[in-house]
Every structure is written in structure tokens, then in C-alpha cells.
Amino acid sequence: MTTLPTPDILRPASYVYGTWHTAPEGQTLYDAVYGRPVAVISSEGVDFAAALRYGREVGGPALRRLTFHTRARLLRALATYLLERKEDYYRLSLLTGATRRDGWVDIEGGIGTLLSYASMARRELPDERFLPDGKVEQLGKGGTFVARHLLVPREGVAVQINAYNFPVWGMLEKLAPAFIAGMPSLVKPAPQTAYLAERVVRDIIASGLLPEGALQLVTGEPGDLLDHLEEQDLVAFTGSAATAAKLRVHPNLVARNVPFNTEADSLNASVLGLTVRPEDPEFALYVREVAREMTGKAGQKCTAIRRAIVPRDRVEEVVAALRQELSKVTIGDPARDDVRMGALVSTEQRERVRATLAALQREAQLVIGGEERELLGGDREKGAFLDPTLLLCESPLTARGPHELEAFGPVATLLPYDTLEEAAYLTRMGRGSLAGSVVTHDRAEAAELVMGMASSHGRILILNRENAKESTGHGSPLPQLLHGGPGRAGGGAELAGISGIKHHMNKVAVQADPTTLAAITHEYVPGAEVKEDVIHPFRKTFDELQVGDSLLTHRRTVTEADIVNFAALTGDHFYAHVDEIGAREGIFGRRVAHGYFLISAAAGQFVWPAPGPVLANYGLENLRFVEPVGIGDTIRTRLTCKRKIRKDLRPGETRPTGVVEWHAEITNQRDELVATYDILTLVERAPDAADNLTV
């Protein structure tokens, strides 16, 4: 039987101002399973002011020279590099008390976040060093004065203070959006598991993939780090609400208005619907989800279910089902294949959980737990083991403890309710949560609960038989979704897809004439000067095309035959097009051409028919029909290169391409705009150096 090996004493170092720094003495850390010394950490001798200057003066400029897409390629390459070394991280993770499954969430979940952000950046952001945000605003009637918001990287350091429970994921989920945004990171892991974070950082630095200064690491205490922060810096903190409250009012942070983002532990709740019966699939789903959240990572998850809110007439059945489910959970040495739950991170943490559990029992009774199960390996005293424990609070509306005290371990409290309104109110009594869940197949019930819970939650999962196979579960933050919550949860916003990147950028409104604004944003702005050429724009390659290249087409008069033939071809016989009497009585007062006929006719005006660099139509966006076009009206189209988006080669592809976005404007014989839209085309480009980068 595999067991946790006796570890060598590790000396995790700090990586600051381009060098590894190891202190001669420091705090001794112990493994969570047998209580043996595992590491000595210290930040003694680190010059925190110098580390921040290095990030601002070396890391920041190096990152800001790169575009979003280049940063994304580097991040993807880094993720691939780390995945090849993941087994080293799993071995160290066992020392923290985490099982292989727990480690998977932390290690591969963290690396997966890098991949997700790399993909999102390449898919949703331009290949630029700044991000145009929102639409162009016309500020004057004549169209000569316009404005647009731009997002640019903050010229400081993102100081990232992480919790002990996810030393890899917690670090990488903060690093990814900061890196894509162009902001260097200074990582401060929690001491208890800093040796695992340090090992990952060692590999990141050794890869040589990140620009120097883009990532620094401080193990040990943070010293006077916060005293040296400046206005362009920001802080992202994960940990307890009490610690967050102290750090948030640090005098220097307050004086310099340094942004402080908090993701704090919260008393997350899961509600079993009133309509769910014990024989329904949702009942079993609820029980499994509560048990999984209680025991995953030994309950040390900021998103774990702390309050199980169930219909009062289902309490006994839920307790019985949970007792059976939790009885299957084997506890002990996480290196063993037959162990499902490991230890808490330290004996100190175990004692804190025991103290909180004792306080909770003043208002709730113990219904599962209290005895010491057989350990499958590990040391009951020197290790940090605690058995799964379930409490029942019969009067949750008047109790305070279950809504205020968090036992950060394998502990949950059962709270009975009588009405859906009461259930939603109970969730809100936690004063703000990262995650909540509702388990029901009744859509009306789900809707009422979500609306009752939404104001106090950052994320809500509706779990039922329809989505159970694909659901990632109550406690799984995803890169695409918000990880944060109001009130007790900290009021912060991590991840959330592109929003997490924007958090690391400064928003500025730029006002100018259309041509100047186009020159600044590298995107065509309606009303800006255009460049007309004797060479048709569809005959130009991606590299030859320039933003502002434009074609004004020949004219075409719309006939009755056009409308009748289009109706016959498409089957669209809407009265406004084909019924003379009905059309006269309609809003246009006459028969008008189909909107999609206008788009098709415009394509016939501007498309170059022969083979060339334009390979395919890639899509159409922002379509608006402004004025009707009737029989006898004459149209023509102006097509202008709006922006260019380089595409990376996919595996197996050999023909480099880019996407060109064209702005199309169809006007009538009075030069009135009748339709406007954007067209995306796939255009051939020349190979470049980035095509050789393995991604």
C-alpha cells in the first residue's frame, strides 16, 4: 500500500528582483498527515520596496510591449510546460493533506485556468496592447466630434495574497488575468503550503517563457510590503473576512486609493427545493453534493456548503441519507488509493475548527460525527484529521451562530425551512456569499429562489437531473464566471472571464475627430477619412490591407422583379414585400424590399468574383435596417476595412489567415443610410515568427 513518504526538509525561497533569495532561518512547517517537519520558510532580508520597483520598472514595461495575443500564446505555452511537470506538484500536494482528487482541482484546475484565459484572450481581445471598450459615441450633430473608452494596463504591480487551501489554483487564477492585461504579479502565498506554490514558480521561472519581472514570489511574512504600494498598484486578497477587513484599511492603501479586491470565506448555502421528494433524482443529487462539499479538500474550500437548507418535513430523510453517504468516506493518508478524505492543513487549523464547532453547538445539535473513525494511515494526534460533522439547528431564523461562524473544515449545519421565501431569507442571513445552489426540477421554484438569493450571492447553481452529468458542482469556480460575492464574501470580483482582465486596466475616455480616433484605436470610425485604391480590397492580402481601405460601389435600382424573385427564392412572402394593398395600409405605405435582399444585393456590388486572398465569409454583426427601400429606389454600398485580427495556425493547418472586419453602409439615391452592418472575412496572410511558437 502506497503511503506518504518521509519528506526532505525543503527551504522554499523568494524570487525577487531577478534572483532567488533564501533566508538562513525561519518558520518550520509540518506535513498535515504525520506531523513531520517538511519545510522552513522566511522572507527575512527581502527588500519589498525594491521588489515592487523591479516589477514596475522591469516587468511592467516588458509586458506592455507585448500584445494581448502574444501574452496569450506565452500563457498557453506555460500551461503546457507545467502540465508536463504536474506529477511533481501532486507529490508535494500530498504533504498538505490533499488527496489526488483534491490535488487535481488545485493543480490541473489552476493550469486549466491559464489555458482558459489564453483562449479567451485570443478569441475575444484584439491583437493590440490596449482594449477599445464599448461603442463610439457621437458627441456632435455633424459627426466631427466623437469619443470612445479605452482600457490600458495599470503601470504598477498586482500584489496577490493567497490562501493556504489552493496554493496552485489560487496563484494561477490571479496570475492569468493580470498577465493577459499586461500587469506584473508579486505573489504572496500563505505560509502553510508555500512550498508547493514555490515549486510551481521555480518551474515557471525556469521555463524562460515569461518576461523578466513579470512574476515575483515572496515566501514567509509580507513585512512592510503594503507600505510601499503606489497608486498604480493593486492588491488581490484571498482569505478570511477578518483579515481582509484589517488589510483594507491599511493607511497607505487608503491614502493612495490602491484598489483592494477581496475574495473572502463565506457561509455558502445550498437549498433543497420544497417540491423534491426522496425518490426524485434531485434528492440523491442534493445529498451527494452536500457530502462532496463537506469532504472535498477536507472542507477547506471558500465555496464549500456550510449551511444545508432543507424543507422541515425532509430533515430526518436528509440526515439519514447524509449519514449513509458520509459513512462511505474513508479518512487517512492521502497517498493511499483507498482514502477519500485527507487531513486539514495543520493541527493549528484543526484546533480552530474544533473551537468554532463548540461555539456552533450552543445553538445546534450534533447529528453526525463526534466519534473518531479508523484512520487508514496518518497520525491522529500529530496529523490534522477531523471527521465529517453535521449539525442541526432547529430554529435557524432566530439563531446567530450558523449564519456568523464558519468552521473551515468538514462541517455543515442543517437548517429547516417552511416556505421558499423563508429559504431565500435564510441564505441572505449569511450576509453575502461566494456561491449558492438550488437543487430542484421545478422551474418556478428555481426562479423564485434565485430571485430571492441573487442580491447576496456571486454565483448560483441550479442543479437537477437535466444538467447533473455536465455540472461542475456547487463549489467549483470557473474562469468564465464571477468568483466573488457581496458583503461577507468581500465584495470582490475575480475571474469572470474578460472582466477579470479589465480589472487590471485603467479606463480612459478619449475625445477626438473620427479620423484621429481611428488612428489611435486602429479601428475605422464612421465619418473618418477613407483610402480608395484602384486595387479592389478583396484582391489584397491580410498584410496588404490597411484599416480605412475603402470601396464605393456602383449603383443598383431595385425593381419589382427583384422583390418578387427574392420572395419566390426564399419563401418569404411577408405582406410588406408582396401584398400591394396590405403594404399601403402598413407602416411603410408602400411595398418595400426584403432587408436580406439588400444585404445580398450589396454583396453583389462589392464582392470580387475571382479567386484571391479572401477565402470565406466569416460572419455578420451589428446589422441595422435604418430606412425602407422601395421599388424604384437606387442603392449603393461603401465597404471599409474596419479592423484586422490575426489568427494563429491551428493544429494541422498550413495556410496562415487573419480575420478582416469590414464596415458596410448601404445608402439610397438621396445619400440616406438605409442599412449598416459589419462583415467578417477570412483572408490569407503571410507566415510570421509567431507561427513557429508551439501553442
Return the active site residues.
Answer: 263, 302
Instruction: Kindly state the cell numbers that stand for 128.
Output: 493590440
Distance CA 268, CA 307 (A): 6
Least Cα distance to 645 among 72, 62, 65, 60 occurs for 72
DSSP for residue 401: H
Q: Which helix (H) or strand (E) holds 616?
A: strand 614-625
Under 8 Å CB-to-CB from 245, ≥6 apart: which residues? none
d(CA 331, CA 33): 11
Identify the CA nearest to 525 among candidates 152, 142, 148.
148
Kind and range of the H or E run holding 44:
none
Contact 635, 556 (CB under 8 A): yes
Rounded Cα–Cα distance for residues 272 and 322 (Å): 13
The residue whose grid cell reads 486609493 is 257
How far apart are the C-alpha atoms of 20 and 201, rounded to whole Å?
Answer: 11
Three-class DSSP category at 114: helix
| CA 120-122-128 angle, 5° bins | 120
Q: Kindly list the distances between the CA atom of residue 595 and the CA atoms of 38, 265, 480, 575, in Å, as whole numbers in the listed order.
A: 71, 54, 36, 14
HSE at residue 411, side-chain half, CA atoms within 13 A, is 27
SS3 481: coil
Question: Which among 673, 672, 655, 656 has a CA at the least distance from the CA of 664?
Answer: 673
- Show Cβ contacts of residue 236 under 8 Å, excluding neighbours closer than 6 positions: 158, 159, 160, 161, 174, 261, 263, 492, 494
Beta bridge partners of 238: 263
Nearest-10 Cα torsion for 565, 568, 573, 576: 0
Q: Which amino acid is located at 142 in the chain?
A: G
- Report the distance separating Cα 416 and Cα 396, nearest Å: 7
The CA dihedral of 362, 368, 373, 376, to the nearest 10 degrees, is: -120
Q: Please name every residue paired with 511 in a beta bridge, in sequence order, or none if there are none.
A: 147
